[in-house]
Every structure is written in structure tokens, then in C-alpha cells.
A and B are shown apart, each in its own frame.
Chain A
């Protein structure tokens, strides 16, 4: 068991180090990288949902002054690897989904690039496509594994037998919508190809991981990683969509390689992000719950149906939280996936846990109702002593404490009765649990160097707004036993040592562990009085790793909802979350992450819905006017709290990761509150007023 760092800088409420640059707007994002004479690239997208390009007519563009390059499948370079079919763009005349890139135009100005892109003419031989997810889709299959390497199916005991004999059961189907990550900064790259240089390809890219992005590009282009530099000091939000490279990065590099020596800027438009930047699959979740008279679960089962793209499999691990949240002797979880002619789904904040804490947490509310039991108490009654999935003891599990603390802060005991009316408004309260696994990635290296009386820490980490610029110095300071102001951290560049992707809420756990290893080695080698230039590196795989415990962060969310009795308008005046996520490294940035996740969960509950038209094979509301996300006026009294949790098993910081847990369970808490207010159980997200209007009393 590692001894936790003595927290001095850790736990301090420090303002962001990049704060001044961000409030002035001088922090430079990928597209804004200062370069000489940039050219501008514009992607052209396929206008059929499936088929083959039959002709490409560039005549309207040929000879247009200022157009520098037109790349199509006919003219683009052949890539070294087309294994990843999302990234293998412009390699053949096949169109696998509407909106797939079929060309890219580079011009002297962005206006001209857009004009030229519009002037390209493609004709297609269209084939009948299939882009509609249905619960009984004929091609449903069981993937080999689901995302993050989880088994596709699990089974313990006999769910059917328990369902047949239990005192109370719930058997319902729930659905979550298709969601698009929509970071405010569109995916963008400034790319430069200098063939004679030692590092010929430089990509200033908006990415959640400079090293993973470099590895992907190296493979696609058949270049050694040492011949590529990826730089990303700031990311304008990612939420998973910048965790794996998408076609735009390959196209930017291709465009740059077509114009040696000329930097090329390429950004997706907001509309293109609905085709090319990943998304969360819609899910259909068939839930079964069985309980005895006292509320103890006798069975819990989730059968998930969701979609993937026909050209690249991504199977969201929606059933995973049902494997470990609650005790039950009988359990089944399955995933079936429909391969469709659709854009490639990918990571979106808390893949698996986010949709997978919707169906089960609403079903539990329905079970509580069937049993006539308080839903907080029902959850407490089903607390497992050990992890039902792995059988291991918990590194720490404080779900019950979160539920109790949240109930107390929220005033749960004094909540109004079901169907309470306050003037024109029906008022209800709801609860749901939150969970997210505690992860640490296998690779990351940090270097600690003494420079002019200060300590420089270098690691190719990414700050997506999560606070890495600020939090990593806090960890380094405590590991080196120096004031935090004596530490400078440098991140976001492949010139620094290899770092893992900022994903799975694992950044601080992984990079922080590597930094502590490096700091310990530094002190061991150079003592307390180092000389200028003294330097040591440390790897995360040298950090103590516990594999004897199941490690998760837990939480509980409490929502108050008001539904207008005449119009069905929904408001959420209060949303409180209490989390147990190990030691919080910086309470200021941590709170922002938690309320950010909760607000995105609120947004999922009330607004978000990528409306798919299966006739044409695309999202029809593909911009921010029609794909609604929560705005300022949607959020009122939102509070995030955390318990002082000491977990000696997770890592030497005692931290669990907080970027994703806030979005899990939120939508269920809101739906449960809507039911309490109105008696209407909405089982398909989002809860829009048309779904409650007809049932209002």
C-alpha cells in the first residue's frame, strides 16, 4: 500500500495558472497558432449516404486565382495504412456515410477556400443505405469486446427464475438519444510540412493527447514518430471527441504535404462536427429488476442495443455499471450492436457510465415506487460489500455516505409529497447515484529538471480546461517538498516526455504518478541542493500499483424539478451532487469539473438530442441553434460537494478522477423528479415538454 503524499500544495484552492491568458483571449488554440502566410483548407463532404463517386469535376475551381490545391481520391497521396477506415480519407471512391470527406480545398484565404469547396462537383452511384437503429435490427451482433476492453456479456445466477418469484419486479425499456460532444472549439489543426527538416511534419492540433495523436498520424502516413511533432498547449474542450484523432487531422496533414513549406489551417465547421468528430450512440436499454419484500435485489439485468458504424466498430460499454453498482445474486448484462451506414461513434464524456446510469437508476426509482420505499433507502439497502463484478474488495466506496450527505444538504426528508403543486407549478424531487471507475494509464513519463533555482517538470499532458496546468505543479511541489511557485510545468508538446491521453478521468492519476516517481528519483539522486541542469525522468509504471481492489469514485445527485401545470415547461431550480472521489487536488478546478459534468447531465436530461433522419442518413439539427445544450438560464442553484475520502490504494496522490462522474446519474435524477412532480415516467431522453404535456393532471 503506497503512503499518500503529505498534502501541502495538494488541496490548495489555487487560481488557474493560465487564467489571465484565457480571460484576455491570448492563449492560442490550434487554428490561431502564429505562423507565416497561412493557407486555409476546407473539407468537402459526400452528399449521399452510401455509394460510389462516379465523377469528380474540378473545372470550376481549376485556374481560380488563389486556389492552391484540390485534393480528392484521384489526386490525394496514397496513405501507408488504411486499416482505420475513419482515417483513411480520399483513398478510394467509396462513400460509407453521408458527410464523409470526399475532398479538401486549400486556398490563400478562408473565403476563397469555402467558395472553391462549393464549386467542386461530384456525382455518385447511390446505394440503398441503412442508418436506422431498431431494437430488433436484423444485423445485431455481439462485439468481441466493448469499449475499454470490457467483456460484452456477463451472467451470474438465473435472472428469469428470480423475476418469476420475486415480491416486486420492474421490467422496462429505456432509451438515451444520440449526442454530440460539441466542444466550443471546433476540431482544428495548423499543419506544416517541411520535407528537408529533421522533424518535417508539425501539427498544432486541438487534441486530448499529443502523443496518441502523433502515433495515429505516424501510422497513417508511414512516418517515424520522431519525424512528427504535435503541439497543443490549450484545448477548447474535447469531452472525448478530441481523444482519438478524426479525419480532419489526416486531411490537414495531407493538405500540408501537398504544399511543402506552407502552413495550412483546417477547422471543422460546427455543422461538419455532426458528421466527423464522433458522437455517443443512441442506446436502448431493457432493464429487469427483482426485489424481495425488504427491497433487496434478487436480480438485475440490462440488455443494451446500440449502434456502430459499418466501417469502424465502437461499442459503448453501457451495461458496465450494472455489473458493479448494487448487490444481487442474479445478474445479466449484454451488449448488441447494429452496424449501420452512419458516422463513426466514439468517446463522449463517461462512455458507458453516462448512458448506463440512466436506465438502471430510473428503474430503481420505479422499483422503489413499487415497493413503497424511499429511493435513497432502496439504494442503501443494496450496497455490496465487495465488487460484484470482480469479487475484489473496494479500495474505498462511499456511495452510502454520499447519499446520506446529499439527502441532508438537499432536505430530502422534508421533500414535498408526490404531485405537490406550488401555484402553476408541479414540484418534484428525485435522486440517482453516480459512478466512475478510477483509472491509470500504462504509459506516461515525466522529467524533473532544476533550472535557475526552480524546478521544471515536462510531460506531454493535455489541459482541456480540466486544470492540468495548475494541478500538476501542485503534485510536483508536494513530491519535491517545495513551494508550488517554485515549480513550472510544461505540457502539450511531443517534445516533452510521452503522456497518455486525457481520457477516462485518468490524467491527474497517470501524469501525477509519473511526476511523483520522477520527483522521488530526483531527490534520491541529487538530494535537497541540486545543481543547475540536474535532471531525472520517471515512468508511471514504476509507481506502486494496486490490483487487489476495485477502485471507483461514487456520488449521489438530487434534483428538484418544476413542471408548469399548463404548458409542461420544465425547470430545474436545484441540482445538488455529493461525490466521494478520493483526495481533491485543487478544490477550485475540481468544483468546476463537477458542476460542468452535472450541467452536461442536466443538458442531456432536458435538451440534447441529435435528431436522426433515417431516410437521408444524417443528423438534421446539425448546428447549435437546433442541437440545444444547456445555457446559463437553465442552471439555477447547482451545488457540487465532496466527502473527505482517504484512499491509500489508488495512487500516491489518493486521487480518483473527477472529469466524468458529474455527468453520470444526473439525467436519471431529473427524470425521477419529473415523475414525482407529475406522475409521468419518461423513459426516453430528453424529457421535453411534449412528453409530459398530455399526461399532466
Chain B
């Protein structure tokens, strides 16, 4: 069964027809030709498909497109406004926080989400004092970024990249 939906993707309004079984990830990749979110597992286990969905980080492979009619989606590509890299993206380049690059757009979107969550004071399992404002410590960033697998294992570089983008000098 098909359905027609509207999405705003990286600032651009799009109308498209999707199978009601189409995931948000496949809608972006296969129907709209946006390769930025990646398919690593299609089961919400690796984080490569992470996008910002109405501002929050979300696994687009676990979302059905038809359930997000009208949603605003930002992919890693959309973070580079006018072609200029977002501070998180620049930090990833500076710190060599990737190798093959396949998990990277998801890591970037996740990191943007993390910085926002910390700014809003959301605690994590690694937050030592739930009553205090969380800080961008190594443990805090590593914990919050652990839903994004990186088989090249750039973790040692991802943490300082996120800290750098968050204004912390590691």
C-alpha cells in the first residue's frame, strides 16, 4: 500500500510516495536519493542511520516514513549549511575521528544531538551527579556516543572531536 507524505529534508520541502512499509531511512536513501544516512544493520543496532528528526537524534531505520508525515529531518549533509562544515563536522576532520566514513554521518548527527542534550541538562548513565549540570567529560561523551558503532574504531578520536565542538579543550 502506498501513501503520499511530506517531509522537510535538510531544509527542503519534499512530497513523496512511500510504501507504508518504507522506513524513514529507505525513504531518504532510496526514494529521495539522499545517501547521507547509512544502512549498517537496518535493526537499530549500529547507529549509522542516525538523523535529527524534529531536532532530536533518531534511528531512521526504526521509523516508518508514513508515521512521520510533516516531519523535519536533518541529515549530516544538511548540517553543512551552504557547503560550510558544521563545527562537529570540522572537529571530526581535525581529529581524524573516522576512517572508512560509513558510520560517520550517523556519528555526526548523534554528536549534534548529544551536545544539545547536554546543553538541556539531560543526564546519562555516566553522569556522576544527577542534580548537577552534566559536563562534557570523556566518560560522558563516550557513554552518550555508544549507540553509534564504529568498526574502524575511531572512538579515541571521536570523543575529543565532540568535546572540541562542544567548546571543551581535551
**Structural contact, B146 and A633, CB atoms closer than 8 A:** yes
**Structural contact, B99 and A23, CB atoms closer than 8 A:** no
B166 adjacent to chain A (CB < 8 Å) = no
Q: List 13 A-B contacts (CB under 8 A).
A: A18-B101, A19-B93, A20-B89, A25-B37, A26-B77, A112-B19, A465-B100, A589-B96, A598-B153, A599-B156, A624-B40, A631-B149, A636-B142
Given the interface pairs A20-B93, A24-B89, A632-B142, the reply to whether A592 lies near B77 with Cβ below 8 Å is no
Q: Whole-angstrom distance between the alpha carbons of A671 and B138 in the complex?
A: 25
Chain A residues with Cβ below 8 Å from B152 are 184, 237, 465, 592, 596
Number of interface residues of B (CB under 8 A): 61
B60 adjacent to chain A (CB < 8 Å) = no
One of B30, B37, B142, B148 near A635 (C-beta < 8 A): B142
- C-beta contact mask, A182-193 vs B, less than 8 Å → 1, else 0? 111110000000
A549 adjacent to chain B (CB < 8 Å) = no
Residues in chain B within 8 A of chain A (CB atoms): 19, 21-22, 26, 29-30, 33, 35-43, 45-46, 48, 75-77, 79-80, 85, 89-90, 92-94, 96, 98-105, 108, 126, 138-139, 141-143, 145-159
Q: Whole-angstrom distance between the alpha carbons of A588 and B99 in the complex?
A: 11
Given the interface pairs A465-B101, A595-B153, the reply to whether A34 lies near B19 with Cβ below 8 Å is no
**Structural contact, A270 and B45, CB atoms closer than 8 A:** yes
Among A111, A234, A467, chain B packs the most CB atoms within 10 A around the CB of A111
Q: Whole-angstrom distance between the alpha carbons of A20 and B108 in the complex?
A: 12
**Structural contact, B40 and A186, CB atoms closer than 8 A:** yes
Q: Whole-angstrom distance between the alpha carbons of A26 and B159 in the complex?
A: 23
Chain A residues with Cβ below 8 Å from B93 are 15-16, 19-20, 23
A244 adjacent to chain B (CB < 8 Å) = no
Question: Nearest Cβ in chain B — how far from A37, in angstroms?
Answer: 12
The contact size tier of chain A is 35 or more
A450 adjacent to chain B (CB < 8 Å) = no
**Structural contact, B96 and A592, CB atoms closer than 8 A:** yes
**Structural contact, A234 and B101, CB atoms closer than 8 A:** yes
Q: Whole-angstrom distance between the alpha carbons of A521 and B141 in the complex?
A: 51
Q: Whole-angstrom distance between the alpha carbons of A239 and B157 in the complex?
A: 20
Given the interface pairs A110-B26, A236-B102, A625-B45, the reply to whether A25 lies near B76 with Cβ below 8 Å is yes
Q: Which parts of A634-673 form the interface with B (CB within 8 Å)?
A: 634-636, 638
Q: Which parts of A14-55 form the interface with B (CB within 8 Å)?
A: 15-16, 18-29, 31-32, 34, 38, 40
Q: Whole-angstrom distance between the alpha carbons of A25 and B39 in the complex?
A: 12
Chain A residues with Cβ below 8 Å from B99 are 237, 464-467, 589, 592-593, 596
Given the interface pairs A23-B108, A110-B26, the reply to whether A185 lies near B102 with Cβ below 8 Å is yes
- C-beta contact mask, A163-193 vs B, less than 8 Å → 1, else 0? 0000000000000000000111110000000
Chain A residues with Cβ below 8 Å from B46 are 184, 270, 624
Chain A residues with Cβ below 8 Å from B38 are 25, 29, 184-185, 236
CB closest residue in chain B, given A586:
B96
CB closest residue in chain B, given A575:
B156
Question: Nearest Cβ in chain A — how far from B36, in angstroms?
Answer: 3
Q: Which parts of A582-632 form the interface with B (CB within 8 Å)?
A: 588-589, 591-593, 595-600, 603, 623-625, 629-632
One of A24, A110, A466 near B77 (C-beta < 8 A): A24
A109 adjacent to chain B (CB < 8 Å) = yes
Chain A residues with Cβ below 8 Å from B141 are 632
One of A15, A596, A633 near B154 (C-beta < 8 A): A596
**Structural contact, B43 and A234, CB atoms closer than 8 A:** no
Q: Which 4 interchain pairs have the tightest Cβ spacing? A: A25-B36, A236-B102, A465-B100, A465-B99
A235 adjacent to chain B (CB < 8 Å) = yes
Q: Whole-angstrom distance between the alpha carbons of A185 and B138 in the complex?
A: 27
One of A28, A588, A623, A633 near B143 (C-beta < 8 A): A633
Chain B residues with Cβ below 8 Å from A24 are 36, 76-77, 79-80, 85, 89, 105
